[in-house]
Amino acid sequence: MAQAVKDIPAIDFSEFRKDFPVLHQEVNGKPLVYLDNAASSQMPESVAQRINDYHRNEHANVHRGIHTLSQKATDAFEETRKKVRDFINADSENEIVYTTGTTDSINLVANSYGLSVLKEGDEIILSEMEHHANIVPWQMIAERTGAVIKVIPVTDSGDLDMQAYESLLGERTKIVAVVHVSNALGTVNPVKEITALAHEHDAVVLIDGAQSVPHQPIDVQDIDCDFFAFSAHKMCGPTGFGILYGKMNLLEEMPPYRGGGDMIDKVSFEETTYNVPPFRFEAGTPPIAACIGLGSAIDYLNHIGMDRIANREQELVNHAVSELNKIEGLRFIGNSDRRASVCSFVIDGIHATDIGTILDKQGIAVRTGHHCAQPILRRYNVPSTARASISFYNNEDDIDRLIDGIRYAKSFFE
């Protein structure tokens, strides 16, 4: 079912496509069609230039010097924290913790908050559609604490079974960790409702926002989640950098995750006291260039407008779903009415890897495999899918090339 597109003033998205040099190349003799944005988005020239400018003109360590270069680097480094605060509507920049990515952010919460509060028999609720990064850390913590993992089932359409979720909540529920947008299905989960229900049982909620932050406006105060994790490289930024948002009252009570420089207050061989959040969780020299790059990426996205991006991507997803549904033997894995920019599918008689290989020969980049989400694919009795994931710099021609490419792939097996 096509989702409604909001009435937002039109904007010419073809102009933004020009900002991405990588899109203007040939792969295997064909113009590149990049539809692997859920794995990593492309980087606009302005972000690459800002990172290069830091390396060329401002390269110095942060928080460690009074000299001019260090101060310039520190200013840019901390300015990103304020940009992130505003981008997700956090209450304070001090609730913004720098990490190496979504996976690191989740591990931080699991090891710092989880280890400090969980006891034997306590319950952690996850969903059946989680990325491995929001499963394995909790399994590791459960093994160490004796906590028990409960799983929210997924319906045939790819939606969370909210009635089942409510039945899982109880007095032993301490943590609920769920994905905002499934990387394997494209389902957009009702995270505000999930959070409210968890809070009725005094449980803390972590939202994996890796696939939502790049594609729609985010307001963590409106969601009211306790933690929110995402990565820079999925939102036009560099790899190796991410964000953990945490409510200040929780961050203040959490012990450090790693030890080293910057996360301390005073150190002696007898005792060490720790810095305040967020610095308590940022040991050692950080990826400064990547942090500054994220700040530039946020500037770029804000220039376009996240409402406009969400609207444009919904137009493209509706077009893709409509055209893919016309292909005989193609079946969506996840067909929720609340779908983001992911189309995950299988084709009768053709392995997903073969689909991806044939598409690549035509210059079309999609992702194939289990997408680090084996449990949800097992739910649908498929070992792998082909996944086309869309960004605002894609266009209808990209979708039509994908459709033609799939039809061409099918012709090999007929």
Tokens of 258: 């790693």
Q: Determine the Cα–Cα distance for residues 387 and 376; give it in Å rounded to an integer.
A: 14
Q: Which amino acid is at 406?
A: I
Q: Determine the Cα–Cα distance for residues 190 and 207; give it in Å rounded to an integer.
A: 11
The DSSP output letter for 394 is: -
Q: Determine the Cα–Cα distance for residues 211 and 233; give it in Å rounded to an integer.
A: 11
Cβ(393)–Cβ(23) below 8 Å: yes
Biggest CA pair distance of the chain:
74
Query: Helix 288-304 vs helix 306-324: angle between axes, to the nearest 10 degrees?
Result: 80
Instruction: Note if 225 is an active site residue.
Output: no
Tokens of 49: 């230039």
Using a 10 angstrom Cβ sphere, with 0-12 exposed, 13-18 middle and 19 or more buried, the burial of residue 68 is exposed
The DSSP output letter for 8 is: -
Q: Which residues contact 396 (CB under 8 A, 6 or more apart)?
A: 316, 319
Q: Determine the Cα–Cα distance for residues 106 and 101; give it in Å rounded to an integer.
A: 9
Q: Determine the Cα–Cα distance for residues 205 and 125; give it in Å rounded to an integer.
A: 9
Cβ(133)–Cβ(206) below 8 Å: no
Instruction: List alpha helices for 56-161, DSSP H.
Output: 68-88, 102-108, 115-117, 136-145
Q: Which residues contact 164 (CB under 8 A, 6 or more apart)?
A: 152, 153
Cβ(180)–Cβ(340) below 8 Å: no
Query: What number of CA atoms fall less than 13 Å from residue 57's CA on the CB side?
Result: 7
Tokens of 300: 């770029």
The DSSP output letter for 275 is: P
Distance of CA 143 to the CA centre of its chain: 26
* Catalytic site positions: 372
